[in-house]
Amino acid sequence: MPITPANGGSAETAETAVPSASEEPIMLELVDEDGTTIGTAEKVSAHLPPGRLHRAFSVFLFDEAGRLLLQRRALGKYHSPGVWSNTCCGHPYPGEPPFVAAARRTGEELGLAPALLREAGTVRYNHPDPASGLVEQEYNHLFAGLVRAAPRPDPEEIAEVAFVTPDELEKLHGEAPFSAWFMTVLDTARPVIRELTGAAAGW
Determine the distance from the C-alpha atom of residue 52 to the mean position of all C-alpha atoms in its chain, rounded to a whole number: 18
**Quick one: pLDDT at residue 21?**
46
Could you give the CA distance from residue 146 to residue 118 in angstroms, rounded to a whole number?
A: 9
What percentage of the chain reaches a pLDDT higher than 90?
81
Residue 143 to residues 3, 58, 130, 179, Cα–Cα distance (Å): 23, 6, 26, 17
**Quick one: pLDDT at residue 122?**
98
Determine the distance from the C-alpha atom of residue 47 to the mean position of all C-alpha atoms in its chain, rounded to a whole number: 16
* CA triple 152-58-75, angle to 5 deg: 55
Let me know if 88 is a catalytic residue: no
Residue 129 is which amino acid?
D
Could you give the CA distance from residue 156 to residue 153 in angstroms, rounded to a whole number?
A: 9
**Quick one: pLDDT at residue 3?**
79
Residue 119 to residues 71, 138, 143, Cα–Cα distance (Å): 20, 17, 5
Indicate which residue of 89, 109, 136, 157 is catalytic. Answer: 89
Q: Which residues of the chain have pLDDT under 70?
A: 8-23
Let me know if 23 is a catalytic residue: no
Coil, strand or helix at 108: helix
Tens of pLDDT, residue by residue over 144-202, are 999 999 999 999 999 999 999 999 999 999 999 999 999 999 999 999 999 999 999 99
Q: Are strands 135-146 and 116-128 parallel, antiparallel or unpaired?
A: antiparallel
Indicate which residue of 15, 109, 138, 157 is catalytic. Answer: 138
